[in-house]
Amino acid sequence: MPTKLKLRLYGDPVLRKVAKTVKSVGLAERLLMKELIAAMYDFDGAGLAATQVGIEEQIFVGDSGEGPFVVINPQILRYSFKRTILEEGCLSFPEIRIRIERAETISVRFQNEFGQVIEREYSGLPAKVFQHEVDHLNGRLIIDYATKTDLEKYKGQLAKLEVLSLKPSHRSKAHV
């Protein structure tokens, strides 16, 4: 069944909101996470932050090839000195790809779907997804890393998204 959650596109002010801390993890939060996972697969993404469907809570889901994971109240405790560049896309920016330099390895703390505090390290793609999604929860977007050349290249697409994001009935697929 397709998701009922509406993907918010660049231009939607909710994408710039700083998400609120989740006070307790209960049934409602678990249901929301299930919906977010379904929506992430429906939209064909590697990650989805709650703010991308208009919910201002510190929750994101991801799947970097090893099955879905859910993250609540994430904190990045340490960034590796080693940084690598990856060309990143974003469900809220269809057809746009920006080269972003981020830490290769991060140490993180978050809560899982049962409210348990987890501390661990991520490297490679999962570390990139984690940093991308934490950015979302802080109102930060891939366009904030864009160079002048990127902005020039995607000027038309960005303008189109700004208009599209205002349509109340709009529902986007990742590759449309």
User: Which residues make Cβ contacts (< 8 Å) with residue 57, sequence separation at least 6?
Assistant: 19, 20, 22, 32, 50
90: contact with Zn ion by CB under 5 A: yes
**CA nearest to 48, candidates 67, 65, 35:** 35
* Residue whose entry in the numeric block shows the structure tokens 């510190």: 58
In the complex with Zn ion, which residue's Cβ is closer, 90 or 106? 90
**Window of 85-93, 94-102, 108-116, 149-157 that interacts with Zn ion by CB under 5 A:** 85-93
Catalytic residue among 29, 35, 88, 133: 133
In the complex with Zn ion, which residue's Cβ is closer, 108 or 137? 137
Q: Please return the burial class of 167, using the count of CB atoms within 10 Å of its CB with bins 0-12, 13-18 and 19+.
A: exposed
In the complex with Zn ion, which residue's Cβ is closer, 97 or 115? 97
Per-residue contact track with Zn ion, 39 to 78, x per CB under 5 A? ----------------------------------------
Total residues contacting Zn ion by CB under 5 A comes to 1
Rounded Cα–Cα distance for residues 162 and 157 (Å): 9
Residue number with the smallest Cβ distance to Zn ion: 90
133 is known as an active-site residue: yes
Rounded Cα–Cα distance for residues 90 and 44 (Å): 10
Q: Catalytic site residues?
A: 133
What residues line the site for Zn ion (CB under 5 A)? Answer: 90
